[in-house]
Amino acid sequence: MSMTGKFISIEAIAKRYPGATGSEIAVFEDLWLSMARGEFACVIGHSGCGKTTVLNILAGLDTPSAGTVIVDGQAISGTSLDRAVIFQSHALLPWRTVLGNVSYAVTSKWRHWDRAQVKAHAQKFIDLVGLTGAEHKRPSELSGGMKQRVGIARALSITPKIMLMDEPFSALDALTRGTLQDEVRRICRDTGQTAFMITHDVDEAIYLADRIFLMTNGPGAVLAEIVENPLPKDRGRIDLHRHPHYYALRNHIIDFLVMRSKTFTSTAVDYDPRNVPAVRIGKPELMIASVSDASRDESNQASWPGLSRPSTS
Amino acid sequence: MTFSLRFRAAIVSVLIFLAFVGVWHIATRGTGAVAAMTPEYAKLMGLTATQGKSAMPGPLDVGAKLWEHLKRPFYDNGPNDKGLGIQLGYSIARVGLGYFLAVIVAIPLGFLIGMSPLINKALDPFIQILKPISPLAWMPLALYTIKDSGLSAIFVIFICSVWPMLLNTAFGVSAVRKEWINVARTLEVGAVRRAFTIILPAAAPTILTGMRISIGIAWLVIVAAEMLVGGTGIGYFVWNEWNNLSIVNVIIAILVIGVVGMLLDQILARFTRLVTFPE
ipTM score of the complex?
A: 0.83
B201 contacts A93? CB cut-off 8 A: yes
Does B160 have pLDDT greater than 90? Answer: yes
pLDDT of residue A114: 95
Strand pairing class (A24-35; A8-18):
antiparallel
Q: Which of A59, A93, A158 sits opposite B180 (nearest CB)?
A: A93
What pLDDT band is residue B104 in, cutting at 50, 70 and 90?
very high
Q: Nearest residue of A to residue B203 by CA position?
A: A95
Tens of pLDDT, residues B45-98? 777 777 777 778 999 999 999 999 999 998 888 888 889 999 999 999 999 999
The Cα B46–Cα B28 span in angstroms is: 16
Residues from chain A that touch B188, judged by Cβ atoms under 8 A, are 79-81, 108
pLDDT of residue A303: 39
Q: What is the mean pLDDT of chain B?
A: 92
Q: Can you give chain B as a three-state secondary structure string?
A: CCCCHHHHHHHHHHHHHHHHHHHHHHHCCCCCCCCCCCHHHHHHHCHHHHCCCCCCCCHHHHHHHHHHHHHCCCCECCCCCECHHHHHHHHHHHHHHHHHHHHHHHHHHHHHHHHCHHHHHHHHHHHHHHCCCCHHHHHHHHHHHHCCHHHHHHHHHHHHHHHHHHHHHHHHHHCCCHHHHHHHHHCCCCHHHHHHHHHHHHHHHHHHHHHHHHHHHHHHHHHHHHHHHCCCCHHHHHHHHHHCCCHHHHHHHHHHHHHHHHHHHHHHHHHHHHHCCCC
Q: What are phi and psi of A229, to 5 degrees?
A: -75, 120
Q: In Å, how far from its chain's centre is CA A33?
A: 13
Q: Is the pTM of this model over 0.90?
A: no
Share of chain B above pLDDT 70, in %: 98
B179 contacts A87? CB cut-off 8 A: yes
A83 contacts B186? CB cut-off 8 A: yes
The rounded radius of gyration (Å) of the Cα atoms in chain B is 25
pLDDT of residue A305: 44
pLDDT of residue A298: 40
A91 inside 8 A of chain B by CB: yes
Please name the residues between 114 and 153 in chain A that touch chain B, using a CB distance below 8 Å: 138-140
The Cα B220–Cα B262 span in angstroms is: 11
A81 contacts B187? CB cut-off 8 A: yes
B189 contacts A108? CB cut-off 8 A: yes
Q: Which of B186, B197, B202 sits opposite A79 (nearest CB)?
A: B186
pLDDT of residue A295: 42
SS3 at position A159: coil
- Burial of A263 per CB tally in 10 Å (0-12, 13-18, 19+): exposed
A108 inside 8 A of chain B by CB: yes
Q: Nearest residue of A to residue B180 by CA position?
A: A91
Interface A-B: count of C-beta contacts within 8 A = 55
Does B168 have pLDDT greater than 70? Answer: yes
Tens of pLDDT, residues A125-139? 999 888 999 999 999
Residues from chain B that touch A61, judged by Cβ atoms under 8 A, are 182, 185-186
Spans of chain A below 70 pLDDT: 1-5, 283-313
B192 inside 8 A of chain A by CB: no
- Burial of B106 per CB tally in 10 Å (0-12, 13-18, 19+): buried
B228 inside 8 A of chain A by CB: no
| Chain B nearest C-alpha distance from A81 (Å) | 5
The Cα A170–Cα A152 span in angstroms is: 14
